[in-house]
Amino acid sequence: MKILLRLFTVIHGLMAALFTLAALVLVGIAARIGLTVLSSHWDEASALIIIEAVGVLAGAVVAMQIAETIIEEEVIREADVSAPTRVRRFLSRFLVVVVVALAIEGLVATFKALHQDPSQLWFASALIASTALLLASWGLFVYLNRSAEELEPEAMAEAKREDKKI
């Protein structure tokens, strides 16, 4: 069984490395887009291109944060995501990045729709509304999960002790 658990740790490390690679590629793409705009005329089209680059960077942040979460939770801590405290902390780390990235993408989509194709504004507003719903759902989850955490305070204490590993 220990060999199988070690294999899972190695696989998680590989996944984190691939997420990191994806993030670096996205940063490179965003930088290339930005350099292209810097060497051209600065006009409304350039602004839209830069806004698109911001969207690509948001994707890079998500990929990098996922890699960091995997490394910290699955490789360094070798945490078992089953206790309410651990689930809340793990999901919160992931969802904060996803919500921010989706909000940025919603803004990018709104700017693009306003300047290129106003008929796409409905899709941008649906993305923003979905992001708001996700944020509200996450808040409800955290609220409801706190009562479960109060039933096992030792899990919170253990999670805080594990934080010292990082």
pLDDT of 86-110, one tens digit each? 777 778 888 888 898 899 889 889 9
CA-based nearest residue to 79, from 160, 139, 140: 160
Confidence at 37, pLDDT banded by 50, 70, 90? very high
* Helices 84-115, 44-70: crossing angle, 10 deg rounding: 170
Q: Which of 137, 149, 135, 134 is nearest to 87 (CA)?
A: 149
Yes or no: say if 51 and 111 are a contact pair by the CB < 8 Å rule.
yes
Q: For 143, how many CA atoms within 13 A lie in the half-sphere containing its CB?
A: 6
Burial (Cβ within 10 Å: 0-12, 13-18, ≥19) of residue 153: exposed
Instruction: Report the alpha-carbon distance of residue 28 to residue 13 in Å, rounded.
Output: 23
Q: What is the pTM of this model?
A: 0.71
Q: Each residue of 43-78: pLDDT tens digit?
A: 888 888 898 899 899 899 989 988 998 888 777 876
pLDDT digits (tens, 9 = 90+) for 130-147: 999 999 999 998 888 777
Q: Report d(CA 83, CA 85) in Å as an integer.
A: 5
Which residues span the domain enclosing 124? 2-163
Total structural domains within the chain: 1
Q: What is the pLDDT averaged over residues 105-117?
A: 88
Q: How far is CA 72 from CA 26, 32, 98, 102, in A?
A: 22, 31, 18, 23
Asked which of 23-32, 43-52, 121-130 is least confident by mean pLDDT, the reply is 43-52
* Cα–Cα distance, 123 to 73 (Å, whole number): 35
Is the pLDDT at 112 greater than 60? The verdict is yes
